[in-house]
């Protein structure tokens, strides 16, 4: 029995109960394995499945089980224990937090996205989930190849500068061709096993995010290439900064450490000369990506029009990735928090119009965001399609299902299920959090929309 659940008879089931079928999602005709009941039709389907008992979760339910009829035998009085069998949930207030709106009850749609589907529909669903997994695996391999390319060019900066420049140019062209040029590009969440906060990952993330934003602006191919080169090499100068300084998060460095850290923009500019990179727009990005529109940046305190559009783009991508991937993981923000913080608190420093477009590219619920669905389920956003950023693809948090078989749902295909709000990791039950985010953090990459 799952932690916090109560076993009840099928006769006690009613709309509003959050239940778990206790089976793999591929073994039944419901879209979700755990969900909040919303109709008598769903209950009828449960009866057709031959179930005599079912587990329900009081903390996620908006109703109480129906009372049992008068017991026909002494044993019947034990069918509905007064309290959950499991130990108290340390997040026992989760239910109130998740449903605290409109008088304390979360509105439930008429269907809840849980109308049973036919056998043929189940086969189609399985095929689509398999296609999504294959696409994720393909993109992860492409991402790792790019990471290795970044590692190689960083190693060649001093010993083979010409080769390093060629590798950088080739990598940017590859990202543009393979990851950004797709008409139906999707921003995906990187597998937790690939998380890293090193320069090579950060540089690649900033490049991908910058090119996504640049693509949305319909920049000319040559300009897009310069944007990619500047983004990829924006932190090149950090190879000249003491490792001890780089291991300290921004805001925690003393003035001497901060001064040392800030030299990376000058070092990067100088290294560009050694690499034979002479495009002014690329060099400007490397030198000025820490400048702010309000004049509070470095190295020169530039303001507004003194900072190019390409530099502003990289500044936004750099800031976003920096907030999501801090040296101290406890200080890292979720993608949704990072976007909200940047838009609300840094509007004087960042280009607001570009920020709005950046949010549109990543979606209101960016990849890596923990969310509550309208059917009571908790999920992790794994992919966002540009044509409908309010309905991303999510992985459902259901520890009763092996993580390798976790249900991945494209909410565009479940129109009566919606995201209600983003969740903080601390709001989730420990088992669900460990299931969805075995390691805190997220990387992003771009792939094809298999739903198209």
Given a cut of 90, whether residue 104 has pLDDT beyond it is no
Contacts of 204 (CB under 8 A, 6+ apart): 143, 146, 147, 150, 232
Task: Kindly report, residue by residue over 168-186, the tens digit of the pLDDT.
Answer: 999 999 888 865 555 455 5
Domain ranges of the chain: 6-65+86-116, 122-448
Task: Kindly report, residue by residue over 338-375, the tens digit of the pLDDT.
Answer: 999 999 999 999 999 999 999 988 888 888 888 999 88
Is residue 89 very low, low, confident or very high in pLDDT (cuts 50, 70, 90)? very low
Q: For position 106, what pLDDT does the model report?
A: 32
Mean pLDDT of 400-427: 84
Mean pLDDT of 90-111: 34
Which residue has better confidence, 123 or 348?
A: 348
Contacts of 21 (CB under 8 A, 6+ apart): 28, 30, 33, 34, 51, 54
The pTM score is: 0.73
Per mean pLDDT, which range of 37-41, 175-179, 310-314 is the poorest?
175-179
Contacts of 337 (CB under 8 A, 6+ apart): 323, 422
| Residues paired with residue 410 on neighbouring β-strands, in sequence order | 393
| Residues paired with residue 20 on neighbouring β-strands, in sequence order | 34, 55
Residue 344: φ, ψ to 5°: -85, -35
H/E segment holding residue 149: helix 119-159
Q: For position 169, what pLDDT does the model report?
A: 93
> Which of 301, 450, 435, 281 minimizes the C-alpha distance to 370?
435
Q: For position 160, what pLDDT does the model report?
A: 92
> Which of 317, 303, 311, 307 minimizes the C-alpha distance to 348?
303
Mean pLDDT of 423-449: 71
Q: For position 103, what pLDDT does the model report?
A: 31
Q: Which among 195-209, 239-253, 281-295 has the top mean pLDDT?
A: 281-295
If you search the block for the tokens 């909410």, which residue do you land on?
Answer: 411
Q: Are 184 and 449 in contact (CB under 8 A)?
A: yes
Q: For position 1, what pLDDT does the model report?
A: 57
Is residue 278 very low, low, confident or very high in pLDDT (cuts 50, 70, 90)? very high
Does 299 sit behind a cis peptide bond, omega within 30 degrees of 0 on the bond before it? yes
3-state DSSP assignment of residue 374: coil
Q: What is the CA radius of gyration of the chain?
A: 25
**Number of CB atoms found within 10 A of residue 139's CB:** 21
- Please tell me what DSSP assigns to residue 300: S
Q: Which among 32-36, 180-184, 225-229, 327-331 has the top mean pLDDT?
A: 225-229
> Which of 240, 285, 292, 237 minimizes the C-alpha distance to 265?
237
> Which of 253, 289, 249, 254 minimizes the C-alpha distance to 268?
289
Please report, for the chain, how many H helices and E strands are present, in that order: 14, 11
- Please tell me what DSSP assigns to residue 330: G
Q: For position 102, what pLDDT does the model report?
A: 31
Which strands sit side by side in the sheet containing 18-20, from one edge to the other? 6-9, 53-56, 18-20, 34-36
Mean pLDDT of 50-79: 77
> Which of 282, 268, 307, 287 minimizes the C-alpha distance to 228?
282
**Number of CB atoms found within 10 A of residue 69's CB:** 10
Give the total residue count for the chain.
Answer: 452
> Please, what CATH class does the domain formed by 122-448 belong to?
mainly alpha
């Amino acid at each position: 029995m799952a932690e916090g659940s109560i076993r009840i008879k099928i006769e006690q089931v009613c709309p509003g109960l959050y239940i778990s079928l206790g089976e793999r999602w591929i073994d039944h005709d419901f879209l979700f394995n755990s969900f909040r009941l919303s109709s008598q039709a769903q209950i009828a389907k449960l009866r057709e499945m031959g179930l005599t008992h079912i587990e329900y979760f009081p903390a996620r339910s908006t109703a109480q089980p129906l009372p049992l009829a008068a017991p026909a035998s002494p044993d019947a009085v034990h069918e509905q224990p007064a309290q959950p069998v499991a130990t108290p949930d340390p997040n026992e207030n989760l239910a109130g937090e998740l449903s605290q709106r409109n008088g304390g009850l979360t509105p439930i749609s008429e269907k809840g996205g849980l109308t049973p589907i036919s056998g043929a529909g189940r086969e189609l669903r399985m095929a689509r989930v398999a296609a999504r997994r294959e696409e994720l695996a393909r993109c992860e391999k492409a991402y790792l190849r790019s990471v290795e390319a970044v590692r190689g060019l960083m190693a060649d900066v001093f010993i083979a500068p010409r080769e390093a420049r060629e590798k950088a140019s080739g990598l940017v062209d590859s990202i543009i061709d393979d990851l950004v040029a797709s008409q139906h590009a999707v921003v995906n969440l990187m597998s937790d096993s690939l998380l890293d906060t090193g320069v090579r990952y950060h540089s690649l993330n900033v490049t991908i995010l910058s090119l996504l934003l640049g693509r949305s602006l319909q920049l000319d191919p040559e300009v897009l290439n310069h944007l990619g080169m500047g983004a990829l090499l924006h932190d090149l100068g950090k190879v000249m900064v003491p490792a001890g300084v780089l291991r300290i998060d921004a805001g925690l460095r003393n003035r001497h450490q901060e001064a040392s850290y800030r030299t990376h923009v000058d070092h990067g500019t100088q290294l560009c000369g050694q690499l034979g990179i002479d495009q002014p727009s690329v060099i400007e990005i490397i030198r000025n990506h820490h400048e702010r529109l309000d004049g509070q940046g470095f190295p020169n305190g530039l303001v507004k029009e003194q900072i190019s559009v390409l530099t502003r783009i990289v500044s936004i991508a750099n800031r976003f990735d920096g907030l999501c991937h801090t040296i101290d993981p406890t200080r890292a923000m979720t993608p949704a928090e990072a976007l909200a913080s940047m838009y609300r608190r840094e509007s004087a420093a960042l280009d607001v119009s570009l920020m709005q477009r950046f949010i549109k590219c990543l979606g209101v619920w960016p990849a890596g965001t923990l969310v509550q669905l309208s059917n009571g389920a908790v999920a992790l956003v794994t992919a966002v399609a540009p044509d409908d950023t309010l309905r991303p693809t999510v992985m459902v948090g259901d520890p009763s299902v092996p993580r390798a078989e976790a249900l991945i749902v494209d909410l565009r295909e479940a129109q009566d299920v919606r995201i209600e709000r983003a969740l903080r990791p601390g709001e989730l039950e420990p088992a669900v959090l460990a299931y969805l985010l075995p390691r805190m953090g997220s990387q992003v990459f771009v792939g094809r929309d298999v739903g198209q």
